[in-house]
Structures are given as structure tokens and as C-alpha cells.
Structure 1
Amino acid sequence: MIPVLDARLAAVLKLIRAATHADIGSDHAHLPIRLVQTGRVERCVVVELNPGPLGHARTNVALTGLSDRLEVRQGNGLSPLRPGEVESASMTGMGANTIQSILEAGGERLPPALVVQPNDSPRILREWAARSGFHLVAEALAAGFWSYPVLRFEARSGADPVYDGVPLDAALRYGPHLLRSGDPLIRRQVLDDLTRLTPLAAPGRAAQDELNTAKTALEFLEK
């Protein structure tokens, strides 16, 4: 069995490389299977809470013949892992608030490298990383029904230098790496925000602050 990954999971795969990895909320286990098959990880723990997806994951892992390198466990978030068991973990296809809750509950099970793909704005995850001893070392956008953000965090000391020289509010909203790269998808996102927010903005409204952030981001992109 060789799963085909969509653009979203393919972007996640490119940001993962480790000896031991855990995929949290794995669903059908397509991502961890491809991680092992492509040699990007040596061993992967597949974590799924719900019985239906858990069964699919176990079936798909069995079909690969890689059960010695892929282990499926039932549980919530990082709780099925032993402290220090994995070097990195991924969380994809969830809301940013759900991912943040998993990270905050991780405690000593939290690995030193994280790759996350929220289905909504990743700002709260960038803010979590900045206050939790993680640096944002890479970002990508994957085209799909909307542009899916993918972020890689690594545990490092000190303030994250990636935010130096980038307007902070714009960097937290749109991503410092993405703004520096001038990625066409992030430019489209900024322009779409300007179009959406302009008729909604007025002094004292949240939309006004969001519009100002989008304008700042566009100014940075056009330097």
C-alpha cells in the first residue's frame, strides 16, 4: 500500500525528518506510512482517539507490512507517548485552538520538534511557540480549498530571531518566513483580506485592526 498525499499533507511531509516521530490525530495513517516509506523517519507512533479512524489506521498499517516500524495507539493528544519517546510530532487537519490545547497539555511528553497544520489562522500557535521556548524555523502554504499553513517549531533558547526586521503583528498573522519569501499564496491571502475587511472596517472595530495588519503586510511584501 502506497498512500497518495494531497498537497496539504505533502507539504507537512517535507517539514518532517527524524529517527522517531508521532502523528497525532492521524486518521487513516497515510502521512506516517509515507514518512516511513520515504525514509524521512525510521519509526512512527500513530495516535488516534476515535474508534473509526483508529480501525482504518490499523488496517492500513497492516497492509503496508511495516508494523515493525509503525505502531498504532489509541489515546488523546500526546498522552499515549512516553516522555522522550519521540523526537518530533505532527498535528494536522485540526483547529488551531485544538492543536494549542494538545501542546499545552503535553508536558514532559512534548518533543523538541513540532510540525503543525491548522485549518484556520495559525497566529495563536506562533504566539504559543514564542512564549513556550520554541522557535519557528520553517513555514509553508499548501494550495487547496483554501491555503493551508504548515509550521515547524523547534525547542531553542532565547527570543526567536525570525521576527527581527518584520512588523510583529503582520508576522504573527501571516508568518515571518512567508512574508520574507513573498510566496504568491501569502500575497493572495493578504490581498483577499484587504478586499474582505475594507467594507467592514471602522474605528473601534476589530476589522479595523485586522485591516491595518493586512496593509502593513502588503507594504512589507512590496518593499
Structure 2
Amino acid sequence: MPSLDARLEAVLGLVHAHSHADIGSDHASLPIELIHRGQIVRGVIVELNSGPLLLARQNVRRAGLQDRIDVRAGDGFSPLAPGEVQSASLSGMGAQTMLGILDRAGETLPPALILQPNDSPRRVRVWALAHGYHLSAERLAEGHWTYPVLRLEQRGGPDPAYAGLPLDAALRYGPHLLGSGDPLARRQVWADIVRLSKVAAPGRPAEGDLAVAQAALSWLNR
């Protein structure tokens, strides 16, 4: 099996559960490595398309983990029973696709989610606030672009991660990343300021986006 890239290493670092599902696993590298490193005891892979499904089954068999990883055909969480897994990961897809899968999951949604959207992490953070999930950890990983990786946990009450932060900036760039002064987040904020400063004008959407980026930079420089 090939080694995990920085993106999947970041996802792997936020998984810790007895039973874990990887939705849209493709080559099965992530759940296989989770077993090898002792971060999960049992894994479930869900694949919709026949090609990735066959590849996942082949790789699980080659790893000798048929008794530890179950590979299932299906759409999203539909092959899972409620309460079957404690956490699930979705990675390498657009935020709209990801949120559609989560919205269709119903009672099969586990109490912990590790999500790596390829775009619009703000939409994922807004979804979490609306559905009773707290943002317990987040990371950025470098690759073709900068990938956000979020760990969400089902909890009651307001999410303390956002306390004291400018909300729009925290939703756009991540409350934990802003709070820690993450260098990749700082670079992302500065790149947005440079880009948006060229196109922002009164009444244009870029004006509001620039204000959010400037609020984030002010927080980072406090």
C-alpha cells in the first residue's frame, strides 16, 4: 500500500474510535492504516461506484484485514445501522456533496465526524452549528491546495470554540486555527487580503469578504 499523503495523514490524526466508517474510501488506504496504527479496532468502508468498491476490497484482502474491515456497496451512510460506528470520515469531495450525504444520513450519523472538504469549509462549520456538532479540532494540510480537516463531535449547547472570536472570521478560517495562530491559516488570510483588495468596492461581495479577512488578520496580530 502507498503511504498516506499529507491530507490523509491529517484526517488520520483526528480519528480515534473503536469502530469507524470511511465513506467514499476509494483505495482503502485510510482505514487500513488506521488499523495498522491501532487507532481503530474495526472499520467499515462504503463505496458507491463499482471500480473503487472493487479496489477497496482488493486492498483490504491484500492487507489481510477482511476480518477487521467490512467493505460495503452503497450511498453514503445507507449501508450502516444506527449506532454501528462511533465515528466516520468523508474526505476528498466538495462541501455541497459532503453536506448532502450528511443530511441524508438521519439516525445513522455517528457522534463524531472527521471531514475534509475540498472547498468551502465555512459551509461545513455552519452545518455543524445548526446540527448540534461542536468543532473539537481542525488542521490544515498542504497539497495541490491547502486542505482543511475538521473533527466534529455531537454535544449540547453553544460551541465553545467560537467564544470571543469574530464569528464570520472564525467560520471562514476556523476558530481553532485562528486561536492557535496556525501559520498556514495566517498565510491563507493574507493571500485573501491581497486578492480581495484588488477587486473590493462598495456594495460588491468582495467588500464583505475583505472585511472578514481583515478581521481575521487583526485577531491573529492581536
Q: What TM-score results when the alignment is normalised by the length of structure 1?
A: 0.98
The answer to whether 1:34 aligns with 2:5 is no
Equivalent residue letter for 1:54: L
Paired residue for 1:110? 109
Shift of 1:195: 1.0
- For residues 183 and 84 of structure 1, the distance between their equivalents in structure 2, rounded to whole angstroms, comes to 35
Aligned residues: CA RMSD: 0.7
Q: SS of 1:92's equivalent?
A: strand
What do residues 83-140 of structure 1 show as CA deviations (whole Å, max 9, x unaligned)? Answer: 1100000000000111111111110000000000000121011001101011000000
Runs of 4+, deviation exceeding 2 Å: none
Equivalent residue letter for 2:160: P
CA contact (8 A) 1:3 1:33 kept: no
Q: SS of 1:169's equivalent?
A: helix
Paired residue for 1:24? 23
Shift of 1:3: 3.7
Q: SS of 1:8's equivalent?
A: helix
The answer to whether 1:124 aligns with 2:141 is no
Equivalent residue letter for 1:146: W
- For residues 200 and 32 of structure 1, the distance between their equivalents in structure 2, rounded to whole angstroms, comes to 44
Q: SS of 2:213's equivalent?
A: helix
Equivalent residue letter for 2:119: D
Amino-acid identity (%): 62
What do residues 184-216 of structure 1 show as CA deviations (whole Å, max 9, x unaligned)? Answer: 100000011011111111111111111100000
Paired residue for 1:83? 82
Paired residue for 1:150? 149
- For residues 116 and 146 of structure 2, the distance between their equivalents in structure 1, rounded to whole angstroms, comes to 11
- For residues 76 and 125 of structure 1, the distance between their equivalents in structure 2, rounded to whole angstroms, comes to 20
What do residues 34-77 of structure 1 show as CA deviations (whole Å, max 9, x unaligned)? Answer: 01111100000001111111111010000000110001001111
Size of the aligned set, in residue pairs, is 222
Structure 2 gap segments, 5+ residues each: none
- For residues 4 and 30 of structure 2, the distance between their equivalents in structure 1, rounded to whole angstroms, comes to 7
What do residues 160-200 of structure 1 show as CA deviations (whole Å, max 9, x unaligned)? Answer: 01100110000000000000111110000001101111111
